[in-house]
Amino acid sequence: MSGGTRTLVSPAVLARPRGRAVYWTVFTGTVLLFALAFLFPVYWMVTGALKSPDEVARTPPALVPEHWRTTGYTDAWDLMQLPTHLGNTVVQAAGAWIFQLVLCTAAAYALSRLRPAFGKVILGGILATLMVPTQALVVPKYLTVADLGLLNDPLAIWLPAVANAFNLYLLKRFFDQIPRDVLEAAEIDGAGQLRVLWSVVLPMSRPVLGVVSIFALVAVWQDFLWPLMVFSDTDEQPISVALVQLSQNIPLTVLIAAMVIASVPMVALFLVFQRHIIAGISAGSTKG
C-alpha cells in the first residue's frame, strides 16, 4: 500500500525538490491541524479537571495547570456516585451485548440455514426496520416498555438492543457464505443443530462476531435519549444520563473530571482495537 498506488499527485512531481517542499509543508500543516482540532480539545478536558476552580475560570487560560490537583477526579468519583453510574452502564452494555450475541446469532443462523417457513417474510420484515430510523420511534417504544413494566430495569436496554437489523443481517450474510459441505459433514457425524452452530459455525465466525460485539457495546455506551427516557430513577441511570442530570449543580472542575472518566472506557477500547475498528469502518464503504 505504501507508495505503490498512484494518487492525485504524481510520484514524479513529489520527487522534485519543489514537490518535496510542498509535500512536507502540507504534511506538517495537516499534523498541526489534526493535533489542534482533535487532540487539543481532549488535552484541554483532561488538564481542565486538574486545575483549581479559580484557575479554570481565569482569562486568559493557562496552557498547563499551575498545580496538578487530583481532587477534581476524586470528588467526581465520590460526589457524583460515578461507581454506581459506571456500574449501571457496564451492566447495561454487557447485557445488551450478550443478548444480541445469543439471540441475533441464533435468529440469523435459523434464517440462513434452517429454512423456517415464512423465512423470507420474516427477513423482509427485519430488513424493513432498517428504513425506520430508531430515534423516530422512541415514544411508542417507550410506551411498550412501560406497558411491559420494564421502566428502570436494565431489560429496557437489553431486549430492544436485540432488535438490531443491521447486526442480524451482518451475521446472516456471513453464515450464508459458509460452504454447505462443512455443515453437512458435521450433520452426518450426528451433531445436532445447536452443536453445529456452537462448534462449527461460531468458531468460523470470529471476525464477524468481533465486529458485532464492538458495535453492540459502543451503541449502548454512547446512547443518551433512550436511557434518558426509560431510567427516571437516578440510581439506575447510566453515566451518560447522570452526567447531564448532575451537570447543573456541581463545580466545573468536578464535572470535567467526570466527563474524562466517562470517556476512558470507550477510548481505551478504541485504542486497543483500533486496527479492527478502523478496518471494519473502511470495509463498510466498499461492501455497502
Partner 1 sequence: MTKTVERPAEAVRTRPARTPPPARKPARRRLAAQGRAYAFLLGGLLCFALFSWYPAIRAIVIAFQKYTPGADAEWVGTDNFTRVFRDPEFADAWRNTLTFTALALLIGFAVPFVLALVLNELRHAKAFFRVVVYLPVMIPPVVSALLWKWFYDPGAGLANEALRFLHLPTSNWSNGADTALVSLVIVATWATMGGTVLIYLAALQSVPGELYEAAELDGASLPQRVRHVTIPQTRFVILMLMLLQIIATMQVFTEPFVITGGGPENATVTVLYLIYKYAFLYNDFGGACALSVMLLLLLGLFSAGYLRLTRSEGEDA
Residues of span 189-228 touching partner 1 by CB under 8 A: 193, 197, 218, 221-222, 224-225
Question: Which cell numbers in the block locate residue 91?
Answer: 451492566
Burial 231-265 (b: 16+ CB within 10 A, else e): beeeebbbbbbbbeebeeebeebbbbbbbbbbeeb
Closest to partner 1 by CB, 204 vs 229, is 229
Q: Nearest distance from residue 211's CB to partner 1, in Å?
A: 14
At its nearest, how many Å lie between partner 1 and the CB of residue 235?
A: 19
- 62 is a site residue for partner 1 (CB under 8 A): no
C-alpha 215/C-alpha 155 separation (Å) is: 19
CB-CB contact of 19 with 13 (8 Å): yes
Q: Which of 90, 110, 204, 209 binds partner 1 (CB under 8 A)?
A: 110
Question: Which residue reads 507508495 in cell numbers?
Answer: 3
Tell how far CA 106 is from the center of its chain. Answer: 22
Site for partner 1 in 258-277 (CB under 8 A): 259, 262-263, 266-267, 269-271, 274, 277
Q: Which of residues 171-190 bind partner 1 (CB under 8 A)?
A: 180, 184
Q: Judging by beta carbons within 10 Å of its beta carbon (0-12, 13-18, 19+), is residue 216 exposed, middle or buried?
A: buried
In the list 15, 27, 87, 198, the residue contacting partner 1 (rule: CB under 8 A) is: 27
Tell me the site size for partner 1, rule CB under 8 A.
Answer: 114
Toward partner 1, which CB reaches closer, 26 or 70? 26
Nearest to 157 by CA among 267, 238, 240: 238
43 in contact with partner 1 (CB under 8 A): no
